[in-house]
Amino acid sequence: MRKPVVVITGAGGEIGHGLIEQLAADGTRLIVTLDMAPLEVPLAKHVAREFTGSILDRSLLERIHSEFEVDMVFHLAALLSTRSEFSPVMAHEVNVEGTLNLLEFAQHEAESHGRPVTFLYPSSIAAYGMPSLDAKRTAGRVKEHEWTHPTTMYGCNKLYCEQLGEYYARHYKQLSAESIAGRVDFRAVRFPGLISAITVPSGGTSDYAPEMIHAAAKGEPYACFVRPDAQIPFMAMPDGVGALLKLAAAPRASLTQTTYNLGAFAPTADDVRREVLQAFPGAQMSFIVDTKRQGIIDSWPADVDDGAARKDWGFAPEFDFERAFRDYLIPTIRRRYDRNR
């Protein structure tokens, strides 16, 4: 029997790394990737077919459609929040039009083989917009339907695409005379800031935490661009990848909503600095606040309520703040940079 095919967009990015390794270890699916740049060689080895190009290139998506029978999509490609503020029109093109292209692609796949296509979409805490620091302090752990008035282009894009996904899953061509053969089974998570020991992020606003850790491990000074008391939720990358896979595997009937908050720990920037200093006592870390980027962090919740994900599909992160540092970040990062010395 032919193996089912999973398509991963933005496959060379931070989440793609861990996801490809996990899917390859699982071995039940052929992996097809799409990214603007060629994959690194060790990653490319796990992949059945690698397409280099843009999610805005519909003819490329058409080629994938004609060559493969796809039943799962992880649509990871996006411009993150800081980058999107410098090029909002391009962000809209990539984040919204690109997502629309992928949803159409998934719909065509579903119609051609007659089965649902599971579509995993990483949204983010950027979908929230706390109107003031006071509101942020008193809100507690926010639920999915609360405070959804984002202030960034990226946040607007994510919030809208969550709804676009829901449209494809529930109401696609609702006035059509003919019934439609297949459908998109859209499932989204709102990720907190993700911290990977393997890759360094770029273009995000939550990047200060991973940047602080990687700089200390490399012995480089780091000036954190948010205040010491800045607080948003974070998660260790293996838990992020694990959550996507777990949600992908969840029975449709157990899902009571299309978009789920995910949380793990919610340190302040100063908590991160203190933890980094314990592991790298000589690290040179200072705070030089960029008030504009700080404004974006202030608009994101201090923590999220992920009770629905825990209840519906058993989300249970392995790493709390202490374990993330002790068992994952510090040992893996040390190995990584020691090898390069």
Q: Which residues are catalytic?
A: 154
Q: What number of other Cβ atoms are within 10 A of residue 286's Cβ?
A: 9
* Contact partners, residue 291, CB within 8 Å, separation at least 6: none
Count the residues of the shown chain that bind ligand AKB, applying the rule CB under 6 A.
10
Task: Decide: residue 229, CB within 10 A, 0-12 exposed, 13-18 middle, 19+ buried.
Answer: exposed
Q: How far apart are CA 10 and CA 130, in angstroms?
A: 29
Phi, psi at 249, each rounded to 5°: -90, -10
Rule CB under 6 A: say whether 95 interacts with ligand AKB. Answer: no
Take residue 156 and report the two structure tokens written for it: 């607007």
Rule CB under 6 A: say whether 206 interacts with ligand AKB. Answer: yes
Rule CB under 6 A: say whether 9 interacts with ligand AKB. Answer: no
Count H helices and E strands in the chain, helices first.
15, 13
Take residue 140 and report the two structure tokens written for it: 């507690």
Rule CB under 6 A: say whether 259 interacts with ligand AKB. Answer: no
Q: Which is nearer to ligand AKB, 51 or 154 (CB)?
A: 154
| Backbone CA torsion sign across 211, 212, 214, 215 | positive
Rule CB under 6 A: say whether 205 interacts with ligand AKB. Answer: yes
Which range binds ligand AKB by CB under 6 A, 5-13, 124-132, 306-314, 331-339? 124-132
Per the CB < 8 A criterion, the answer to whether 266 and 302 are in contact is yes
Return the residue nearest ligand AKB (CB atom).
204
Choose which of 47, 73, 125, 241 interacts with ligand AKB (CB under 6 A). 125
Rule CB under 6 A: say whether 204 interacts with ligand AKB. Answer: yes
Select from 127, 97, 75 the least CA-distant residue to 261. Answer: 127
The count of residues in the chain is 341
Per the CB < 8 A criterion, the answer to whether 263 and 303 are in contact is yes
Choose which of 64, 120, 126, 304 interacts with ligand AKB (CB under 6 A). 126
Which range binds ligand AKB by CB under 6 A, 93-101, 198-206, 273-281, 330-338? 198-206
Phi, psi at 219, each rounded to 5°: 75, 25
Which range binds ligand AKB by CB under 6 A, 86-94, 118-126, 130-138, 286-294? 118-126
Which range binds ligand AKB by CB under 6 A, 38-46, 62-70, 121-129, 322-330? 121-129
Write the binding mask 156 to 195 for ligand AKB: x where contact by CB under 6 A, - elsewhere. Answer: -------------------------------------x--
Q: Which is nearer to ligand AKB, 77 or 126 (CB)?
A: 126
Rule CB under 6 A: say whether 80 interacts with ligand AKB. Answer: yes
- Positions that interact with ligand AKB (CB under 6 A): 80-81, 124-126, 154, 193, 204-206
